[in-house]
Amino acid sequence: MEPNDTVSPTRRPRGRTALIIAAAALLGISGGTAVGYGIQAKRPPTPLPALAQSGLGYPAKALPADKAPAPLPASEDRQVRTDGDLRKLLVERPKGAKAAPSHPRKAGEWLPLSDYTRKFEDERSMFLFLAENDVRRIAVTGWMQGQHRQSDVTLVQFRSNARMGAADFLDGQLSYMPEAEDGAGNTGDPIAGTGQGRYFLYAAERKPGYLPIHRARALAVRGDIMIDINITDMKPISKKDIRVLAERQLERL
């Protein structure tokens, strides 16, 4: 070989060496795992910690028929009450009040879904929402006191397996009530004894040539029923008027 000739270095193949190293690593991991499982299998089982509750909250065997607790009476079983005629759970018309032209029956009546949603700004969307979320039935009553004050009490009942029930409907209604354009323009006041129930006084609606229109609304939930109460009058409505009416209806449920 001549001194000026260039000798190309021989390249060592890398693939085979890398494969051997990877295989060895895999065997090491597998072997370690197997040894660990073997050691753990030979150890005695670790006892579980004691339960925080020393005894079961229910008997191991069913109680005899003569010792089983009696079922709740219908007056105390809310589901039995609300599964009956919902109209009978509407608050009674006050003494001296007259039937409202829109709701002439004294004992209340069934209200079609389309009639209930007619009072909402987006009537079509509200109708579709309630129809898709399994509204079961709606009962309503109303009366007149004096020449201008009208009170309407509506019970909107949902099916027990509804995707969005009474509580969800209440949340939706409460969400826009603080808005001045669509709601009452304030956050209202809580109704005692309810989780989220509230009552509201609206600002008076004034138009040239007309008497001002005052309005109050109360919203609450009992079980699968949402309570929707409205009072309108040409004279101011006190907080006590709408609050007491809401409390009376809640007691009926």
Look at residue 120 and tell me whether its pLDDT is greater than 60: yes
CA dist 161 and 149 (Å) reads 38
Q: What are 131-174's pLDDT values in tens digits?
A: 988 899 999 999 999 989 999 999 999 998 777 899 999 999 99
Residue 3: per-residue pLDDT: 45
Q: Higher pLDDT residue, 106 or 86?
A: 86
Looking at residue 45, its pLDDT comes to: 74
Query: What is the reported pLDDT for 55?
Result: 59
Q: Dig out the tokens for 79 from the structure.
A: 């589901």
pLDDT above 90 covers a percentage of the chain that reads 54
Q: Tell me the average pLDDT across 86-92.
A: 95
Is 201:209 a contact under the CB 8 Å cutoff? no
The count of other CB atoms within 10 Å of the CB of residue 129 is 17
What residue ranges define each of the domains in the chain, with the CATH number in brackets?
78-252 (3.40.1000)
| For residue 66, pLDDT beyond 80 | no
Q: Could you give the 3-state DSSP secondary structure of residue 219?
A: strand
Phi, psi at 94, each rounded to 5°: -65, 155
Q: Give the span between the Cα atoms of 126 and 131, in whole angstroms.
A: 8
Output the CA angle 41-31-23, nearest 5 degrees: 160
Residue 85 scores a pLDDT above 80: yes
Which two structure tokens, joined as six digits, stand for 209?
């040539």
Average pLDDT, the chain: 81
pLDDT above 90 for 88: yes
More confident residue, 146 or 58: 146
Helices within the chain (DSSP H only): 15-42, 78-83, 113-117, 123-132, 166-176, 239-252
Higher pLDDT, 25 or 176: 176
For residue range 68-78, list pLDDT tens digits in order.
Answer: 666 655 555 45
* C-alpha–C-alpha distance, residues 155 and 170, integer Å: 12
State the pLDDT confidence band at 15, using cuts at 50, 70 and 90: very low
The tokens describing 173, both together, are: 């209604």
Q: Is the pLDDT of residue 25 over 60?
A: no
**Overall average pLDDT of the 88-99 stretch:** 92
Question: What's the chain's length in residues?
Answer: 253
Residues 175-207: tens digit of each pLDDT: 999 999 889 999 999 999 998 999 999 999 999
Cβ(172)–Cβ(165) below 8 Å = no
Predicted confidence at residue 75, as pLDDT, reads: 53
Confidence of residue 64 (pLDDT cuts 50, 70, 90): confident
Per the CB < 8 A criterion, the answer to whether 217 and 184 are in contact is yes
**Residues 212, 206: Cα–Cα separation, whole Å:** 5
